[in-house]
Structure 1
Amino acid sequence: MASLPESTMDEILNRFASMEAEMASGPDHETYARLAADYSGLEDVVAAIRAYREAKVELSQAREMLEDPGADREMRDLASLEIDDLRERIDGLVHRIRLLLLPKDAADEKGVILEIRAGTGGSEAGLFAGDLMRMYQRYAELNRWKVEILTASEGEAGGYREVVASIKGVGVFSKLKFESGVHRVQRVPATESGGRIHTSAATVAVLPEAEDIDVEIRAEDIRIDTMRSSGAGGQHVNTTDSAVRITHLPTGIVVTSSEKSQHQNRARAMQVLRARLYDAERQRADDERSAARRSQVGSGDRSERIRTYNFPQGRVTDHRINLTLYKLDRVIEGEMGELVDALVADHQAALLASMGGEG
């Protein structure tokens, strides 16, 4: 049966009680807000620790009953059954507490900037990029997140050559951060008369949305150019000089936005630039902590083929965790929960293993 260091749990409970007392003492508004945030962050683990300790007391009592020579057979049988149930409950609580004590990713609660680009496969890759965008939009709807397309370049036959979107809500990055990488599709294109299966790809990048406090962008570090927008053709062509290109001089990162409003383009381009700079800083810090400690799922390598969508067989396979689901039609409609949960669980197991805990 699993166990936890009593000293660690004592420390958490003491810190929680100390916060409670300080909040009740009537501190100033700023101090109270900080304490309340920290207090809220400990509530789940404190509840789990209390439940764990209560279960341990009940287990001790059940064992006493089992070993009591004066107890009748029926009482000992009941105690034996209760011991089995309590052991199972305690193991579950230990696992939950370990998960709750894992290091938190500061970006997990943030919204994201989602970037999808058509890769190899010509017009079919553009259609697939469009399918991926719709999949994420529908998944966002199921989670009641807000999606806004920031900039898009349409493909020749539909879909997108490139699309950048903002997804806002609670915990968006925690759910979507494992989507970065190369997504591959295998299917028969509508234009294929011979019924041959084609393979094409699209790349996905998921960046945590950054606030001003996360990234400082100095005016002297950026160059802003305005350009004439180019659209898909016909009435879609925007003939004013409204497109904006922002170059971050220290890093060479270039962001463009070419919607109809120059003011809106500048704001959107800055939003994407801020996210890319924040992501680059996170990647650098992660590399410094040691690449060996990162799990494969959480590596964020955008050149890695992470998933295959095989339409003839109706399957989707995530290559990082060797998970295959034969429900491609539902996944592509946004029912990604099973995939996302499996990726999160694998990441948590890897973190537990790296800290010497059990997965």
Structure 2
Amino acid sequence: MTTALPEQKLDTLLARHAAVEAELTQQLAPEAFVKLSREFAEIDPVVGKIKAYRSVAGELADLEALIADPSSDPAMREMADEERHALIGKREQMIEELRVSLLPKDAMDERNVIVEIRAGTGGDEASLFAGDLFRMYERYAARQGWTTEIMSVTEGTKGGFKEIVAEITGRGPFARLKFESGVHRVQRVPDTEAQGRVHTSAATVAVLPEVEDVDIEIKPDDLKIDTMRSQGAGGQHVNKTESAIRITHMPSGVVVMVQEERSQHKNRAKAMAMLRAKLYDAEKTKRDTERAAARKDQVGSGDRSERIRTYNFPQGRVTDHRINLTLYNLPKVIEGEALGEIIDALITHHQAELLAAEAG
């Protein structure tokens, strides 16, 4: 039997939904309108599920009353009993869906993200793999209707990237990409390998939510800001203007650099966004580590040193080690087409852990 829903919480949500809907019809300041619109967009689908669930619960109550009434026609009672069984199954499914909808949301889920990919062990092959991972995320992002913009890049000597940092913007990228943080491992025969031997290389992925000034305070006095000429590709303008920006946060030693835009002003804004994300992430990692001492939450830990996934090209398989999921469609995953299958499985697993924690 499915656990009963917190009816009081459902009542509160219905009341809040009605209040927000009424407020949105009033004359509002733009920032208040945006804030309320976001809240409405978040609770509206949940309220739809609550109303559907209560409608089914009402139908069930009517059928049960008809079945219990001795004056009811026997044929009617039999039909009502059959319908009741079907509705019970439907109600159980609705309860499960609602319980997931009522789980506490990660405050950062709707945020844009900064994705950092660094080549790890494996030399040139690791750089090529980092390039493959970047293209996988770029294509997956395009499928979601998101936009990818490179913030900084260090190219590999034979292609790919030693390091690439990109910003992905759109609707809810952090919710879908946050479980990608960790060490990704590749097993394949490199183009440079004459003997045809399989090599193992690795790249590290970090997915950071973009944070706002209100999320983290950075004192101007703590920053050392350097301007310099951009390096590498970028056209004729690059070596003539000091548009590249490097910001050092002196208390933590965190250094960020952006050189992709012609405008120093734009590069500075992007570098500050990157710095805020890194400092917020460092603070969150510290908190999560303290919390993880009390309970193990492997999927959500985002431990950068944890080997999370292996891409085995000779066997055409991808294995996510956290949830023991193996898919034999590596080409579609690396093209960004089937990455969603892995992400969906990770989200489902995480929700199941949250539900188990609530029940416990």
Q: TM-score, normalised by structure 1?
A: 0.89
* Cα 1:260–1:73 shift into 2, 3 Å: closer
Check if 1:349 corresponds to 2:352: yes
* Cα 1:134–1:64 shift into 2, 3 Å: same
Count, aligned residues = 356
Q: Deviations over 1:35-89 (max 9, x none)?
A: 4443443222222222112111212233344445555665444333322221221
Q: Distance in 1 between matches of 2:189 and 2:83?
A: 57
CA contact (8 A) 1:231 1:238 kept: no
Greater displacement, 206-215 / 158-167: 206-215
Q: Distance in 1 between matches of 2:244 and 2:19?
A: 54
SS at match of 1:206: strand
Tell me which residue corresponds to 2:304. Answer: 302
Tell me which residue corresponds to 1:125. Answer: 126
Tell me which residue corresponds to 2:173. Answer: 172
Q: Distance in 2 between matches of 1:54 and 1:211?
A: 41
Q: Distance in 2 between matches of 1:77 and 1:194?
A: 74
CA contact (8 A) 2:119 2:161 kept: yes
Paired residue type of 1:327: N
Tell me which residue corresponds to 2:84. Answer: 83
Q: Deviations over 1:232-288 (max 9, x none)?
A: 8xx999586554321101211111234474614433322211211222233344445
Tell me which residue corresponds to 1:188. Answer: 189
Ranges in structure 2 where 5+ consecutive residues have no aligned partner: none
* Cα 1:69–1:4 shift into 2, 3 Å: same
Q: Distance in 2 between matches of 1:20 and 1:144?
A: 28
Check if 1:328 corresponds to 2:319: no
Q: Distance in 2 between matches of 1:173 and 1:304?
A: 19
Note the C-alpha offset of 1:185. 0.3
Check if 1:313 corresponds to 2:298: no
SS at match of 1:299: coil
Q: Distance in 1 between matches of 2:145 and 2:243?
A: 32
Q: Distance in 2 between matches of 1:148 and 1:21?
A: 39
Q: Distance in 1 between matches of 2:341 and 2:76?
A: 43
Alignment of 1:150-169 (within 5 A): 150-169=151-170
SS at match of 2:197: coil
Greater displacement, 203-212 / 158-167: 203-212
Tell me which residue corresponds to 2:141. Answer: 140
Paired residue type of 2:152: T
Note the C-alpha offset of 1:212. 3.0
Alignment of 1:14-33 (within 5 A): 14-20=15-21, 26=26, 28-29=28-29
Greater displacement, 61-70 / 196-205: 61-70
* Cα 1:118–1:236 shift into 2, 3 Å: farther
Note the C-alpha offset of 1:27. 6.4
Q: Distance in 1 between matches of 2:313 and 2:333?
A: 11
Note the C-alpha offset of 1:130. 0.3
CA contact (8 A) 2:209 2:277 kept: yes
Paired residue type of 1:334: G
CA contact (8 A) 1:298 1:347 kept: yes
Q: Deviations over 1:199-244 (max 9, x none)?
A: 0000000000123333332221100123455438xx9995865543
SS at match of 2:213: coil
Tell me which residue corresponds to 2:269. Answer: 267
Check if 1:200 corresponds to 2:204: no
Check if 1:10 corresponds to 2:16: no
Alignment RMSD: 2.8
SS at match of 1:170: coil
SS at match of 1:297: coil
* Cα 1:123–1:238 shift into 2, 3 Å: farther
* Cα 1:267–1:321 shift into 2, 3 Å: same
Q: Distance in 2 between matches of 1:219 and 1:115?
A: 25
Q: Distance in 1 between matches of 2:295 and 2:109?
A: 19
Alignment of 1:287-298 (within 5 A): 287=289, 291-293=293-295, 295-298=297-300
Note the C-alpha offset of 1:355. 1.0
Tell me which residue corresponds to 2:47. Answer: 46
Q: Distance in 2 between matches of 1:44 and 1:100?
A: 9
Note the C-alpha offset of 1:346. 0.7
Tell me which residue corresponds to 2:246. Answer: 245
* Cα 1:239–1:21 shift into 2, 3 Å: closer
Note the C-alpha offset of 1:139. 0.2
Q: Distance in 1 between matches of 2:346 and 2:159?
A: 31
